[in-house]
Amino acid sequence: MPRVTYIQADGQSQEVNLEAGSSLMQGAVDNMIDGIVAECGGSCSCATCHCYIDADWIDKVEPAEEMETDLLDCVSEPKDNSRLSCQVKVSDALDGLVVHLPTTQF
Amino acid sequence: MAANSRCIIIGASHAAAQLAPTLRQQGWTGSISMISNEYALPYHRPPLSKDYLAGTKTAEQILIRPAAVYKKCDVGITMGVTVAAIDRPNKQVMLEDGLALDYDKLVLTTGARVRKIDIPGVELNGVFYLRDLNDAQQIKMFTGANKRAVIIGGGYIGLETASALRKIGMQVTVLEAMPRILQRVTAPEVAAFYARIHKEEGVEIIADVQAVSISGDKQVESVQCHNGTEYQADLVIIGVGVIPNTELAEQAGLKVDNGIVVDEYARTSDDDILAAGDCTFHYNPIYQRHLRLESVQNALDQASVAANTICGNLKPYSALPWFWSDQYDLKLQIAGLSQGYTDVIVRGDIDGSRSFAAFYMREGKLLAVDAVNRPQEFMFGKRLIMQGNQLDPAQLADDSLSLKTLLTS
């Protein structure tokens, strides 16, 4: 099971094990990690599961599709490493992944 | 709050799945029990008419949270049990089997149920409503490539179902009683767009027609309409709206008016009984009127407010309603409520393409946005509604102009 670390904007971090194939959003919801709202349940509709992929990992994550990049343009504080966590599937190749959470999803 | 306090949640809904863990996060140390008349952990309902029906997601994949989360939060879930009554003087929930459970705080997340129609033949095999996982599971036994489906009701549920059934190769006819589909929820321009898309996708939409009977020998065979037309069917799905489940609240003497009336802290007229989600009638400060919403956003946000209230952390509920509907390759995102609009401004080619935004205006201000495959118009539209500024129709219609430029910082 890939291990993922979620780091809050205030620096608090939580390390959790996720099922390979599940999304970073589902992993956060399942482990009650604050800061991921995920209103639409993963259908790439609401942009309330915004996160930043750690710089060391950004190249290892599959790139975003157009719907996602369009939504990312509109989130508060978008960065080059912004992603919607519902669209990032974890795999064994992402074991050790570090994800940073924004200050707000709205 | 004491460790021996008891919180009971009636209905294992979207709101319940949000409420129970939030209570723990907010420091509730007492017991939490969820009572459901269904036989499933809380699940996402929207996929029932979309990915689940089309077979691209399983029942397990639509669970809101896995069983482990409830265990970790020490939330007891009783399934397949119906609550018969609430005894407010004794602070007890009476179950159908006679058992009485004590509560200190009670939350009603009872949701809504389908509106039923009373025409001959609705009891036939192969005739369904669609609200629960159980409905969707049964419907799937009647689906199959080249079989014929008749959908009664051209609202979002009916149209999403039509899309999902086309995906698995069924022949689909939608019967709408009003002069056009989506009559209650969208402008004529948007309805015409969806009528065109469904036609392009091979769905037959018949408006202004009333289904008056359903025929078949045990199993459904056809649907008859008021004008004498008849449509062959192996499967009939009726989607004509929902009504809130308010009976328990009503019988308990709580204030009910088009839903269980709650204040901005999700409290009913009894301070120890709260309610959240589709079953509530609540004040929305953005639109300055009472609303009953049928949406995931409302269920989640109001449940969070309720959990905070129970833990003594009063946070008033104020959120812009939003909705979505996935049909074929179209992602519709709706921000705000369009009721009371006087003008509609369209951005993009609504007559020929599969991407546009419709802005619903009143007195020069934006009330709501329907955005199809236009996430930016949806996202910035939300903010424009919240800002409440006067907007120039020409700028809204100008596709070369990003909506972002219309925001005041």
Kindly report the CATH number assigned to the domain that includes residue B352.
3.30.390.30
| Residue A47: partners with Cβ closer than 8 Å, 6 or more residues away | A71, A72, A74, A75, A84, A105, B375, B379
Average pLDDT (B305-315) is 97
Are B227 and B253 in the same domain? no
Number of domains present in the structure of chain B: 3
**Residues of chain A contacting B73 with CB distance shorter than 8 Å:** 32
Q: Which residues of B298-333 are buried (b: 16+ CB within 10 A; e: fewer)?
A: bbbbbbbbbbbbbbeeeeebebbbbbbbbbbebbbb
Q: Does residue B118 sit within a domain?
A: no
CA distance to partner chain B, nearest, from residue A9 (Å)? 18
Among B254, B283, B310, the domain-final residue is: B310
Note the CATH number of domain A3-100: 3.10.20.30
Model pLDDT, residue B1: 60
Q: Looking at the structure, do residues B226 and B249 belong to the same domain, yes or no?
A: no
Whether the CA torsion B202, B203, B207, B210 is positive or negative: it is positive
Query: Does the predicted TM-score (pTM) go above 0.90?
Result: yes
**Residue A46 forms contact with B (CB below 8 Å):** yes
Q: Does B379 touch chain A (CB under 8 A)?
A: yes
d(CA B357, CA B350): 8
- Partners of residue A75 in chain B, C-beta under 8 Å: 379
DSSP tag of A89: B
Alpha-carbon distance of B132 to A61, in angstroms, equals: 36
Whether residues B296 and A41 touch (CB distance < 8 A) is answered with yes
Please answer yes or no on whether B379 and A39 come within 8 Å at the CB atom: no
Asked if residue B386 and residue B347 are part of one domain, the reply reads: yes
Strand partners, B222: B215, B232
Do residues A20 and A90 touch, judged by C-beta distance below 8 A?
A: yes
Q: How many residues does chain A have?
A: 106
Q: Report which of B149, B128, B121 is spatially closest to residue B238, judged by C-alpha positions.
A: B128
Mean pLDDT for chain A? 92
Enclosing domain of residue B344: 329-406
State the number of CA atoms in the 13 A half-sphere of B116 facing the CB.
9
Beta-bridge partner residues of B220: B216
- Establish whether this prediction's ipTM goes over 0.90: no
Q: State the best of A34, A74, A77, A87 to mutate against chain B, taking most chain B CBs within 10 Å.
A: A74
Q: Are residues B16 and B102 in the same domain?
A: yes
Portion of chain B with pLDDT greater than 90, in percent: 97
CATH number at residue B131: 3.50.50.60
Q: What DSSP letter does each residue of A50-78 carry, written as one string?
A: EEEE-TTTGGGSPPPPHHHHHHHTTSSS-
Residues B225 and B132 in one domain: yes
Query: Do B15 and B30 belong together in one domain?
Result: yes
* Domain match, B148 and B290 both: no
Residue keyed to tokens 């972002």 = B404
Probe site for chain B from A39, A72, A87, A104 (most B CB atoms < 10 A): A39
Please tell me whether residue B288 adopts helix, strand or coil conformation: coil
Question: Are the beta carbons of B324 and A43 separated by less than 8 Å?
Answer: yes
Domain stops at, among B275, B310, B345: B310
Same domain, yes or no: B169 and B231: yes
- Which residue in A32, A44, A47 is closest to B25 by CB distance? A32
Q: Which of B215, B238, B261 is the last residue of a domain?
A: B238
Q: Write out the E strands in B47-175.
A: 75-78, 83-87, 92-95, 100-102, 105-108, 112-114, 127-129, 148-152, 171-175
Whether residue B304 sits in one domain with residue B270: yes
Q: Do B279 and B244 meet the contact criterion of CB atoms below 8 Å apart?
A: yes
Average of per-residue pLDDT across B99-107: 98
Residue A105 — very low, low, confident or very high, per pLDDT cuts 50/70/90? Answer: confident
pLDDT at B9 over 80: yes
Q: Is the pLDDT of residue B2 over 80?
A: no
Q: To the nearest whole percent, how much of chain B has pLDDT over 70?
A: 100
Question: How many contacts, defined by CB atoms under 8 Å, are there between A and B?
Answer: 55
Q: Please tell me whether residues B189 and B338 are part of one structural domain.
A: no
B232 and B249 housed in the same domain: no
d(Cα B140, Cα B48) in Å, to the nearest integer? Answer: 11
Would you give the distance in Å from CA B92 to the centre of its chain? 30
Residue B52 lies in a domain: no
- In tens, the pLDDT along B358-408 reads 999 999 999 999 999 999 999 999 999 999 999 999 999 999 999 999 999
Taking residues B4-19, report their average pLDDT.
96
Residue among A34, A39, A67 whose CB faces B331 most closely: A67
Give the pLDDT score at A76.
84
Tell me the chain B residues in contact with residue A36 when contact means C-beta distances shorter than 8 Å. Answer: none
B132-163 pLDDT, tens digit each: 999 999 999 999 999 999 999 999 999 999 99
Q: B194-235, pLDDT tens digit by residue?
A: 999 999 999 999 999 999 999 999 899 999 999 999 999 999
Note the pLDDT tens digit of each residue in B177-199.
Answer: 999 999 999 999 999 999 999 99
pLDDT of residue A13: 95
- Which of A30, A34, A70 is nearest residue B376 as measured by Cβ atoms? A70
Angle at B344 between CA B341 and CA B346, to 5 degrees: 155
Query: Which chain B positions have a beta carbon within 8 Å of A71's beta carbon?
Result: 375-376, 379
Is B27 touching A (CB cutoff 8 A)? no
The verdict on B371 and B338 lying in the same domain is yes
pLDDT tens per residue across span B32-66: 999 999 999 999 999 999 999 999 999 999 999 98
* Within-domain flag for B321: no
Show me where the domains of chain A are located. Answer: 3-100
